[in-house]
Structure 1
Amino acid sequence: MGSRVLEEFLRENLAELKSKGLYNEINILEGANGPVIEIGGKEFINLSSNNYLGLATDKRLKERAVEATNLYGVGAGAVRTINGTLQVHDELEKRIARFKGTEAAIAFQSGFNCNMGAISAIMTKDDAILSDELNHASIIDGCRLSGAKIIRVRHQDMDDLRAKAKEAIESGLYGKLMYISDGVFSMDGDVADINGIVEACREYDLISYIDDAHGSGVMGKGAGTVKHFGHSKDIDLQMGTLSKAIGVVGGYVAGTKDLIDWLKVRARPFLFSTSMTPASAAACIEAIDIMEGSTELHDRLWENGLYLKKRLKEMGFNIGNSQTPITPVIIGDEVMAQRFSKRLFEEGVYAKAITFPTVPMGTGRIRNMPTAAHTTEMLDMALSAYEKVGRELGVI
């Protein structure tokens, strides 16, 4: 018989989450995660995927993955530092570095692993990290793991960054100081002030770290937020994922050769977890080839994002201040946000509610993620459902 203490803890806390509209039901997809998905034998317009460019189901990536599997096998067979570094991993890292405009790059098994490994490889309990208050959970956890003092900076507030940096330096308590920020904030869709960050980091000699998980493939004609602002050589660590616009799985950090050499001997997920699969690495290379060869998918993504935003705003929905295709519909009340999402589902639109703790309490929302694979007809069907449900629930 299991622990009664554990059973009570789980029962009480699960019931509390459900009563507050904070319990997330996980749906199982019966097929690929494309612009239209199938759940329970029914089709839905999919507005909840990070598959920005539609590459997760692209025939070219699938063919490259199969080729790599036939050549290398289904797994790498070891951690990178023993004998799990295959030619395809080395090629991927060189391609990422070229794409990002840096000297070198390192590939991890996930974006979360990047932040867990890279931050703690650089920062220690003797240091301090200035962190934007809306940074992703993986950044927060990476900062905690490092043991460094975490100093919250008001969202995108360069004056507050300067004040906090000055105070930290004058205290004499810390060795190194790092400023870390998302490049594109995944819940609101706003873009980091890269120019302001570069200036402030130069002024106070801060190590700069940009998590561009939602900017890679989306900003800078695909090369990311840092390159969009022309600062590829000025940001110390550019981190990103290979699982969103790239369409596969994994993550990377790009920077100087010395930085990457250090991460390869000190980043714990790199040292103690088996390499990403050969198929994944090969498919990522193909995705980068496609993005470098044409901006067609990138341009279509932005067209769809702007179209969805315009129509939702015209209907009277609060879509926040997004500067990217990420399109939040901010409802406010968590229970109402969950109810709204459920009604959309009943109308054939899959758009999940995002509630606390992913976003601040009282800012419950539906986060819409248009992709390059959506047709205007698909978006119009989703918009019709939005208008119907919005009026029915008194949101518009």
Structure 2
Amino acid sequence: MTRTGLSPLAWLADVEQQRREAGLRRVLRVRQPVGAELDLASNDYLGLSQHPAVLDGGVEALRTWGAGAGGSRLVTGNTELHEEFEAELARFTGAESALVFSSGYTANLGALVALSGPGSLIVSDALSHASLVDACRLSRARVTVAPHCDVAAVERALADRAEDRAVVVTESVFSTDGALAPLRELHDVCRRHGALLLVDEAHGIGVRGTGGQGLLYETGLAGAPDVVMTTTLSKALGAQGGVVLGPEAVRGHLIDAARPFIFDTGLAPAAVGAALAALRVLIAEPYRAATVLRRAAELTRICEVPEEPTSAVVSVILGEPDVAVAAAAACLDRGVRVGCFRPPSVPAGTSRLRLTARASLTDDEMDLARAVLTEVLASAR
């Protein structure tokens, strides 16, 4: 049968139509300059992406080291700045060492794939971030998906395994609803069964723990020899990039074995300089972490969400995708940008507005948020 008359991309039209009918078609929207609208959607939890010291840190690194790293970190992309930042972040989080990647996504891919592989088991939380899901698929390990925050299910998977090596994977703060993982309980299970615990602290750093040192630090697990942490520099630190933190042996192994580290261009110096400056602001102003949680509690009361927030994320479930999309658009029309999460980011029937608190929110901005959200949610529910 000949197919020479068919376009190899003809099937995309059918897929697009199916997405439109399900209310799941996504479009890119251009963001206005900072200050043009109230931002309750970004992950700039500490409000540091526009902090003068952070901007100066990025500019100074740009002028000193150039616009790009110029190559992988194993070739020309490793600067004194990269290693200075790694050392300071490791000290701040209580880790033995750190290794910077070009993004949080590649940090998760590099860490999990390099620390598992054929002949090992990965037990991953059902709501783990897409980067961890992709890492599981690339690992060629046997993967068991445990129900969300189900410690007993994790223990059963570890107890029943035939593999010598096992890795348990979770986020510390889950990105869609802001819930906290039971890290201490998971670590106890890992200890009993000789498994490594890998924790993505993307939404924990800067918000949880004393002065924003993270949920691992808060639960007393910072620096544990059987714990590896990943995080991103694009949220609380307001910059770009990712990091893996843990024992020095892990850092050495990743330099040898993590393909996203070996074959990717190093993180641009400007991003490293900005992240380093942001870290120093956080260390000097530890109150910012508590301010984020206070503002999140205010948003929770405004939106009449029954659960008290445990992170910067406030999740307002509205149900169907079209309802959530319309509510987000109505907020934006009134000058407030909010996140809108639909399947497959969240389960069917739980499409939602995802609001994020910032330490830099002013009382006037909170008054605007109250007026807009109260009006829009009254119509959406």
- TM interval, short-chain normalised: over 0.9
In structure 2, runs of 5+ residues without a counterpart are none
Equivalences for residues 51-70 of structure 1 within 5 A: 51-70=44-63
In structure 1, runs of 5+ residues without a counterpart are 37-42
Find out whether 1:179 has 2:179 as its counterpart.
no
Amino acid of the structure 1 residue aligned with 2:26: N
How big is the shift at 1:301? 1.4
Find out whether 1:219 has 2:219 as its counterpart.
no
Separation (CA, whole Å) in 1 of partners of 2:316 and 2:5: 42
Find out whether 1:251 has 2:242 as its counterpart.
yes
Amino acid of the structure 2 residue aligned with 1:147: R
| Contact 2:297-2:309 within 8 A present in 1 as well | no
The counterpart of 2:221, out of the listed 231, 236, 256, is 231
Find out whether 1:345 has 2:332 as its counterpart.
yes
RMSD: 1.6
Using the size of structure 1 for normalisation, the TM-score is: 0.91
The counterpart of 2:356, out of the listed 366, 369, 379, is 369
Amino acid of the structure 2 residue aligned with 1:206: A
**1:40 alignment counterpart:** none
**1:278 alignment counterpart:** 269
1:134 counterpart SS class: coil
| Contact 2:303-2:377 within 8 A present in 1 as well | no
**2:33 alignment counterpart:** 31
**2:154 alignment counterpart:** 161
The counterpart of 1:22, out of the listed 19, 24, 49, is 24
Separation (CA, whole Å) in 1 of partners of 2:160 and 2:85: 41
**1:287 alignment counterpart:** 278
Amino acid of the structure 2 residue aligned with 1:387: T
**2:66 alignment counterpart:** 73
How big is the shift at 1:299? 2.4
**2:118 alignment counterpart:** 125
Amino acid of the structure 2 residue aligned with 1:164: A
C-alpha distance after superposition, 1:133-181 (max 9, x if no partner)? 111100000111111111011111111111121122xxx2x23111000
Amino acid of the structure 1 residue aligned with 2:208: M
Find out whether 1:92 has 2:56 as its counterpart.
no
1:55 counterpart SS class: coil
How big is the shift at 1:297? 2.0
Separation (CA, whole Å) in 1 of partners of 2:247 and 2:361: 38
Equivalences for residues 378-393 of structure 1 within 5 A: 378-393=365-380
Amino acid of the structure 2 residue aligned with 1:13: V
How big is the shift at 1:319? 5.7
2:10 counterpart SS class: helix
| Contact 2:293-2:310 within 8 A present in 1 as well | no
Find out whether 1:354 has 2:341 as its counterpart.
yes
Instruction: Describe the shift of the 1:70–1:362 C-alpha distance in structure 2 as closer, same or farther (beyond 3 A).
Output: same
| Contact 2:302-2:373 within 8 A present in 1 as well | no
Separation (CA, whole Å) in 2 of partners of 1:27 and 1:156: 34
**1:50 alignment counterpart:** 43
2:17 counterpart SS class: helix
Separation (CA, whole Å) in 2 of partners of 1:228 and 1:352: 28
| Contact 1:319-1:328 within 8 A present in 2 as well | no
How big is the shift at 1:383? 2.1
1:56 counterpart SS class: coil
2:37 counterpart SS class: strand
Separation (CA, whole Å) in 2 of partners of 1:391 and 1:282: 44
Instruction: Describe the shift of the 1:5–1:167 C-alpha distance in structure 2 as closer, same or farther (beyond 3 A).
Output: farther
How big is the shift at 1:305? 0.9
Query: Which of 45-54 and 233-242 deviates more?
Result: 233-242
The counterpart of 2:107, out of the listed 102, 114, 126, is 114
How big is the shift at 1:344? 1.7
Instruction: Describe the shift of the 1:323–1:368 C-alpha distance in structure 2 as closer, same or farther (beyond 3 A).
Output: same
Using the size of structure 2 for normalisation, the TM-score is: 0.95
How big is the shift at 1:194? 1.3
2:310 counterpart SS class: coil
Separation (CA, whole Å) in 2 of partners of 1:115 and 1:108: 9
**1:265 alignment counterpart:** 256
**1:9 alignment counterpart:** 11
Separation (CA, whole Å) in 1 of partners of 2:363 and 2:114: 45
Separation (CA, whole Å) in 1 of partners of 2:309 and 2:164: 36
The counterpart of 1:189, out of the listed 178, 195, 201, is 178
Between the aligned residues of both structures, percent identity stands at: 29
Separation (CA, whole Å) in 1 of partners of 2:15 and 2:287: 47
The counterpart of 2:317, out of the listed 324, 330, 333, is 330
Separation (CA, whole Å) in 2 of partners of 1:48 and 1:209: 27
C-alpha distance after superposition, 1:285-335 (max 9, x if no partner)? 11111111221322221221111112222xxxx465742120010011122
Query: Which of 19-28 and 45-54 deviates more?
Result: 19-28
| Contact 2:123-2:145 within 8 A present in 1 as well | yes
Separation (CA, whole Å) in 2 of partners of 1:372 and 1:297: 6
